[in-house]
Structure 1
Amino acid sequence: MKWCKRGYVLAAILALASATIQAADVTITVNGKVVAKPCTVSTTNATVDLGDLYSFSLMSAGAASAWHDVALELTNCPVGTSRVTASFSGAADSTGYYKNQGTAQNIQLELQDDSGNTLNSGATKTVQVDDSSQSAHFPLQVRALTVNGGATQGTIQAVISITYTYS
């Protein structure tokens, strides 16, 4: 009889304990994006040769070389892609212009669009996709300049990276 009472007591304890046991909640998070299909980047790399610049013409503050054109071309933009935004990045010096990573001192590189807007690191430029040709063009220009003057002899080199987004 003792065993029988103990069985009932044990069953009652288990019944009460199981009422307080609950299953954990589960959350499923789903992420994604709907984006425009990219255009074909026709200008994958561009090299601009500034040529030989004479140090005596870059001695005074604000002196600069001639502008050199560079065009970025995108083709085969899919129907529905209406705009392309280019984001520019590269090493900047304390003046905000692109830093010369060559050996010439007191030289910066300036990049502008065809409207004369400076495109320093972090800048963006958006153009419309031409519906008839399904292409986009970024006409740009670059030059060497010396913000503070006193440019020294040496090499000029800078790398400007461009990332495209589509809408």
Structure 2
Amino acid sequence: MAQQINRLLPALACLWGICGVQGVQATDININGMVVASACSVDTGTVDQTVTFEQARAVDYTKVSDTSEWQDFELTLSACPLSTTQVTVQFSGDADSDDSTKFANAQGSASGMALQLVTRDHQTEISPQGTLAVVVDKNSRRAVFPLSARMYTPTGHVTSGEFQTTVQLTFTYQ
């Protein structure tokens, strides 16, 4: 029996050596994500809003920078979550070929006219691709962008026709 154990021990030692040589390797997994502020609701009066100007006469726009009267309007977002403290809007649209700080009369037939867009206090002009940020009111959970717009001639050479342009809005929440 001792002889059988002596023969078995080297065999077991070899098996243990083979079985014991196992690769062990530690590794890390990086998991990334982003927590973003939740969206507010765009009020129905803001969705597809139309700002209408009074009828203008081409003969009244003979000098560079002649303008129509300001038309006030606002963009309103409501039901903003508590985690959303600020809303930024980007204004996208075609820039006027004569004044790139104004929006082109892209869909209208009148020439020589552009859209000037500013904050309601007329202190900040908003150009195509420009942005504007407002703080969400903590009590009402609303974000309101008070704005004004008017027709503007960058050339002083206006022809009659329809004035129509589209400004697309993209909201970002912080």
Query: Match of 1:103?
Result: 109
Query: Match of 1:35?
Result: 36
Matched residues, number: 142
Deviation of the 1:148 alpha carbon: 1.3
2:61 paired with 1:58 = yes
Deviation of the 1:31 alpha carbon: 5.2
Return the match for 2:86 from 74, 83, 101: 83
2:169 paired with 1:162 = yes
| Gaps in structure 1 of 5+ consecutive residues | 1-26
Distance in 2 between residues matched to 1:53 and 1:147, nearest whole Å: 16
Q: Is the 8 A contact 1:46 1:70 kept in 2?
A: no
Distance in 1 between residues matched to 2:146 and 2:32, nearest whole Å: 37
Return the match for 2:132 from 125, 130, 145: 125
Larger Rg: 2
Distance in 2 between residues matched to 1:82 and 1:57, nearest whole Å: 44
Query: Match of 1:152?
Result: 159
Distance in 2 between residues matched to 1:84 and 1:99, nearest whole Å: 26
After the TM superposition, list the runs of 4 or more consecutive aligned residues in structure 1 that deviate by more than 2 angstroms.
27-33
TM-score w.r.t. length of structure 2? 0.77
Residue identity (%): 35
Q: Is the 8 A contact 2:72 2:120 kept in 1?
A: no
Distance in 2 between residues matched to 1:72 and 1:29, nearest whole Å: 41
Q: Is the 8 A contact 1:79 1:134 kept in 2?
A: yes
Letter in 2 for 1:47: T
Distance in 2 between residues matched to 1:79 and 1:148, nearest whole Å: 47
Distance in 2 between residues matched to 1:28 and 1:108, nearest whole Å: 54
Q: SS in structure 2 opposite 1:109?
A: strand
